[in-house]
Structure 1
Amino acid sequence: MDKPIEEMAFEEALRELEQVVGRLESGDASLDESIALYERGDRLRRRCGERLDQAQARIEAIRLDAEGRPAGVKPFAAA
């Protein structure tokens, strides 16, 4: 749990977030440890959200011209 969150890939951050949630749900952590876990979990959650937003921005839809040939790309529009 010591790796800087900013350097984590999505999968790493999600895995650690799951561990943090599990630890918090177990009720075995002291109050101070629970607060620290919650704070790190919040930062991990934000990191995962940022990575998902970046991935979505990279998804592109191919536009076709009147003859069905690729004519360029347009940004993905989430429904």
Structure 2
Amino acid sequence: MTKKQEVTFEEAMENLEKIVEQLEEGDVPLEKAISIYKQGMDLSRLCHSKLKTVEEQLTQILREDGELETFAVQEEE
């Protein structure tokens, strides 16, 4: 995957799900499993980065008067 081929969040999640399924089956040779796992970690980081970007964008909301207002996201525990 090159930087020229920007993967969408949905595509990355779909690929990550396929990787998880392959690894859960357990019939992948060790060397290939390690390679697949690394790809999965890259996709996981990509998804996390995209979610973080969206969260940062959503921390400000537009009030009715057109002014931006800081919006705090409540974390679930």
Q: Report the TM-score when normalising by structure 1.
A: 0.78
Extract unaligned runs of 5+ from structure 2.
none
Three-state SS of the structure 2 residue aligned to 1:7 is coil
Determine the C-alpha separation between the residues in 2 that align with 1:48 and 1:75.
24
- Within-5 A mapping of 1:10-25: 10-25=9-24
Amino acid of the structure 2 residue aligned with 1:29: V
Identity among equivalent pairs (%): 32
Aligned partner of 1:78 in structure 2 is 73
* Counterpart residue number, 1:8: 7
What count of residue pairs does the alignment treat as equivalent? 72
Large movers: runs of 4+ above 4 Å: none
How far apart, CA to CA, are the structure 2 residues paired with 1:40 and 1:77?
A: 33
- Larger strand share, 1 or 2: 1
Question: Larger radius of gyration, structure 1 or 2?
Answer: 1
C-alpha contact (below 8 Å) 1:57/1:76 kept by paired residues: no
SS of the residue 2:69 aligns to:
strand
Structure 1: where are the runs of 5+ without partners?
64-68
